[in-house]
Amino acid sequence: MSTGSVEVVYRGIFQKTLAKNICRGIVLAARKEGKIGIAFGRYGDSPERNGIPAKQFAVVSDNQEELEEHLAKYEPDNNDVTISLDDALCKGVESWAWYGLQPINKLLADGGTLLVTSTQSANKLIKTIHSKKAPYNLAIVKSPASFSGLWVYKDDHTDVRLLGALAKVAPQIVSLESIVAAIVEQWKDDLKVASAKKAYDVVESTPVGADQGNDEVPFSFDLPGWTKMEEGLVIRGMDAKPQDVPGRDGGYVPTRSETFKKFSTRTMRPVINFDTCTKCTLCWLNCPDTCFDITPDGFYDANMEACCGCGVCEAVCPVNECVTMVNEEAFEDHDSQWEMWTKDKKGYLAWLSEKITQRPARSHGFHHVGQYAEEIADDPA
């Protein structure tokens, strides 16, 4: 093979520098072997929004003509390696230029490797990843979602650990020797070289069979053509019929878009204790995405097709232990919490306290000062 391509999926802004370092590192290392290459981002993701899934790529080739097949394109469609910098993205990727939920392995070549930073086990991760028609490999670099390179966040070597692991899972793209040479040149740091070599030695790869994994059909829709779109750049308000909404008898009732939904856009979601809720409206009022549905009995139910996981509801809620943000890793569906509570209040409370007490580390950097340092200290790797 004379052309190799790597896709890096990451959280917009938070991991942009990290993704850029990895993609540049691949091209600069491949240059050591006389190859040429390109490093670029998916322009549809820009300008990047906090936490919204985004992509960057590195394509290397030993000749200009083959490389040219990958220039002036949105994204390479058959990657040897897909790197996911946040394991929550294994549930699927939603770009800001919305076109549905794209399985994390959709653009991965048959027999390629999905390389993920995660503290979860391969077996647990595979259950969240959409199944693929062809077998591939899942490799894990043990790490929480890293913010390395973002503003004040310290360099935790995630970039070079992934470069080292890449050399192990795809030596045809770039060798460990070239990675080391590029690291020395870029950073002049022996410790970073050691981190890359260690990741090369310890990275574990698990074969994933055809059709193994999450069998959910990923959400998609068709875009309209020019003969069907409304002229003059007009978008109609989505008006629900008042009779369809319990407790409403007139007026404009907004409903939700059938196509614009959010699933993997968020890294956390609110869980709500309806027993302590005082119906103060603050979560509903402050939610930047209007994600709270008003229930017939006057509660506010966070709609998991609309929530972006920002945590504002938790911040503004005046009640102790009413709204709690929990890492997406803890969830497998997008069901209504209010419906669950209505059906079985005791069962819901048990579910809720399990989610809160057993919750994995939070994923947003802004939760509290020092959180990141604690996460790194706790990391077994």
Partner 1 sequence: MTPPDLAVAEKIEGPSGETEELISGSEAIAHACRLADVDVITAYPIRPYDTVMQYVSQMISNGDFDCEFIVAESEHSQFEIVKHASVVGARVFCGSSGVGWFYAFEALAVTAGLRVPMVAMVGNRALDDPGAFGVEHNDALAVRDLGWMLNWVSTAQEALDTALIAYRVAEDKRVSLPCAISCDGAFLTHSQTLVKVPAQETVDSFLPPYDRAEKQLHPDNPITIAPQVNEDWLMEMRRQNDMAMRRARGVIIEAYEDFNAKFGRSGEPFIERYMMDDAEIALVGMGTLAMPVRVAVRKMREQGKKVGFVRVRWFRPFPTIELQDVLGGVHAVGVIDRDYSFGSAFHSGVLATEVRSALYPMESPPKVISFIAGLGGREVSADNVIEMADMAFDAAGGGDINDQDTHWIGVRE
Binding site for partner 1 (CB under 8 A): 24, 27-28, 31-34, 36-41, 43, 46-47, 65, 68-69, 71-74, 171, 175, 177-178, 180-182, 185-186, 223-227, 233
Residue-wise DSSP of 247-263: T--SS-EE---SS---S
**How far apart are the C-alpha atoms of 293 and 113, rounded to whole Å?**
40
Q: What's the closest the beta carbon of residue 72 comes to partner 1, in angstroms? A: 4
Identity of the residue, 29 or 313, whose beta carbon is nearer to partner 1 in the bound complex: 29
Identity of the residue, 19 or 90, whose beta carbon is nearer to partner 1 in the bound complex: 19
Q: What's the closest the beta carbon of residue 66 comes to partner 1, in angstroms? A: 9
Identity of the residue, 123 or 227, whose beta carbon is nearer to partner 1 in the bound complex: 227
Q: What's the closest the beta carbon of residue 74 comes to partner 1, in angstroms? A: 5
**How far apart are the C-alpha atoms of 354 and 256, rounded to whole Å?**
30
Residue-wise DSSP of 39-59: EEE-GGG-S--TT-EEEEEEE
Q: What's the closest the beta carbon of residue 151 comes to partner 1, in angstroms? A: 16
> Tokens 């850029």 map to which residue?
20
Say if CB 253 and CB 239 are below 8 A apart.
yes
Taking the alpha carbons of 363, 368, 373, 378 in that order, is the dihedral positive or negative? Answer: negative
Q: What's the closest the beta carbon of residue 188 comes to partner 1, in angstroms? A: 12
Identity of the residue, 190 or 321, whose beta carbon is nearer to partner 1 in the bound complex: 190
**How far apart are the C-alpha atoms of 92 and 109, rounded to whole Å?**
17
- C-alpha distances (whole Å) from 296 to each of 264, 280, 352 are 28, 15, 22
Identity of the residue, 107 or 352, whose beta carbon is nearer to partner 1 in the bound complex: 107
**How far apart are the C-alpha atoms of 65 and 291, rounded to whole Å?**
49
Q: What's the closest the beta carbon of residue 176 comes to partner 1, in angstroms? A: 8
Say if CB 13 and CB 51 are below 8 A apart.
yes
Identity of the residue, 185 or 211, whose beta carbon is nearer to partner 1 in the bound complex: 185
